Structure 1
Amino acid sequence: MVGNGVTDEIFDGNALLPFVHGMGLISDSIYEDVETSCKGNFYKYYSEDTEDNNDDSCSKSFQKVDRAIEGLNVYDILEPCYHEGDSNSAWMKAAIANGTLPKSFEELGFTNNNDERHLKVRKRMFGRAWPFRAPLKQGLVPLWPQLLAQTRHVACVSDVVASSWLNNNAVRKAIHAEEESVTGAWELCTGKIEYSHDAGSMIPYHKNLTALGYRALIFSGDHDMCVPFTGSEAWTRSLAYNIIDEWRPWNSNGQIAGYLQGYDNNLIFLTVKGAGHTVPEYKPREALDFYTRWLEGRPI
């Protein structure tokens, strides 16, 4: 089971443009201009080690896309974009210092009888996620500090509450973390970790495992712009397995919760409607529903 997973440099690199166009974030004319200028190979625009990234016409066309989406939260385009030093951050820092956080923050992680989490809490929590535009290829995987270079702040994300909570002595003790004097303070997307990828595209691995008979569920929150569902849909289709369950909605709590397509060799591609990069964070009930059904071997 893989959720919003970076899988292949080309498929994931080419996924952004159709996603932002399909979501109405860029105009038809911008989409057509980039299609023409980049000749369908959008992923080369991000490449660091190919002469194709010096293609002036492609680069200039894609700058229009960048300008259109730069103010969006990449992990869920429906979520707010928080800015470093804005009034929200200042208010939260002051509230934490004074011990006057509202009830929703005091109940951080609380789940009520309807399995719905407090949205106001979720908007302000953030864990490690794949950095936007970090391609899946052999070599060092650039994390946010390397991508941003001049600033430690991850675009649109507020880590005020997460930092305060994870640096609390009682919390550190409860999760068996070393004392701050030993490991230092918790930091959002620290640059102290280096991760190198040496396996290339994951598609051959998926092909091998599914051909051996292992079941696979590839799911995507359909509002994640960091690893768009358009790339996952494309690479699962590229395996060229026969479609045995044609694109259809799946339900949770009596409502359409997303869409799925089933293939030979026990492969399913599934979207979760309205979810971002970390599906259970945004849609816990729906995530539990499809997860439970899949584990039990029931139809989703």
Structure 2
Amino acid sequence: MGGDSYGGKVAVLTAHKIVEGNEGGQKPLINIKGYLVGNPVTGEKVDTSSQAQHAYGLGIISKELYKLIMTHCAGEKDFKKPQNVLCATHLETLNGFLSEIDIYSILDPTCPDEAPTSAMRALKENQEEFIDSPLSSVPDISCITAALLANYWANHHLVKEALHVKEGTIERFHLDNFDVDSYFYTRSVPSIVPYHYSLITRGFRALVYSGDHDLKIPILGTLEWVKSLNFFVLEPRRSWHAGGQVAGYTILFSNNLTFATVKGGGHIAPDIMPFECFFMFERWISHQSL
């Protein structure tokens, strides 16, 4: 089983619950062999404390700002609510830079939840004219992505009727509504890392992968908690390939734990790099080295 980001957190907890149920004799037994998670949230400090280093590595912030953050934020337990005034000031500067880009996939344009009206109208009503029109008159369609079209589709009144969504029960469908997680649930699991350790040391295979252009849950933080499990490195960092091209980098640890990056991937790497991610999954599930 598997999942991305917050879904990865749920996947690990679900896998752990299944394993404990199997060991406790609950029926039916579920033949679980392992799990995979992508750009997974852990609840650990590294989820956010690694943002500055990754932003610096990607050329978004200066070396000077990075050093100031590392100096004044050392020892902070919560980077969202820093106690040190200077740390808070420098993190505010960092967040200013991050607010200008899509931190889930920094190479993508920043886009609103709603499609640009002119672009959607052009695509819907004047397809032939839109295709043949000169570039100077074509509306900006850089934000018409698969995710936005799914959002547009889900909010259509006919779709709502087909799904039996009662009128007035909800204003609109949101692709990602993090307010649900932040404001409507009490978090009873501060860190998911012990659950990873419990599953892996029980003999279950694990693949932890990260899109390297995600600044929401940076690869540096993910690799830090992976290394904190203190498993031996069986195969040191090397490139892995798909379609004859470098698709990312991987490390094989003991206890059947594989860490991999997806070159060019964002927070949900399969969205942007579907071929590479399928190739990675296919090899992993077939017990083949990446």
Say whether the fold is shared (TM-score over 0.5): yes
Task: From the CA coordinates, give the structure whose radius of gyration is larger.
Answer: 2
3-state SS in 1 of match to 2:167: helix
Alignment partner of 1:226 is 2:226: no
Alignment partner of 1:59 is 2:80: no
Q: Are the equivalent residues in 1 in contact too, given 2:61–2:94 (CA < 8 A)? A: yes
Q: CA deviation at 1:195?
A: 3.5
For residue 163 of structure 2, the aligned residue among 169, 174, 177 is 177
Mark the runs of 5 or more structure 2 residues left unpaired by the alignment. 1-35, 131-140
TM-score norm. by structure 1 comes to: 0.72
Q: Are the equivalent residues in 2 in contact too, given 1:216–1:267 (CA < 8 A)? A: yes
Q: CA deviation at 1:170?
A: 5.1
Q: CA deviation at 1:172?
A: 4.7
Aligned-partner Cα distance in 2 for 1:183–1:92: 29
Aligned-partner Cα distance in 1 for 2:90–2:168: 49
For residue 78 of structure 2, the aligned residue among 33, 36, 44 is 44
Q: CA deviation at 1:221?
A: 0.6
Aligned-partner Cα distance in 2 for 1:121–1:171: 25
CA shift in 2, pair 1:172/1:59, >3 Å: same
3-state SS in 2 of match to 1:293: helix
Q: CA deviation at 1:95?
A: 3.4
TM-score norm. by structure 2 comes to: 0.74
RMSD: 2.8
Moved over 4 A (4+): 101-104, 120-123, 169-173, 190-193
3-state SS in 2 of match to 1:246: strand
Q: In the alignment, what sits opposite 1:187?
A: 173
CA shift in 2, pair 1:76/1:60, >3 Å: same
Q: CA deviation at 1:179?
A: 3.6
Mark the runs of 5 or more structure 1 residues left unpaired by the alignment. 48-52, 105-119, 127-158
3-state SS in 2 of match to 1:261: strand
Q: CA deviation at 1:122?
A: 8.2
Q: In the alignment, what sits opposite 1:264?
A: 254
Count of aligned pairs between the two proteins: 242
CA shift in 2, pair 1:282/1:36, >3 Å: same
3-state SS in 2 of match to 1:248: strand
Aligned-partner Cα distance in 1 for 2:87–2:180: 34
Q: In the alignment, what sits opposite 1:247?
A: 237
Q: In the alignment, what sits opposite 2:45?
A: 10
Identical-pair percentage: 28
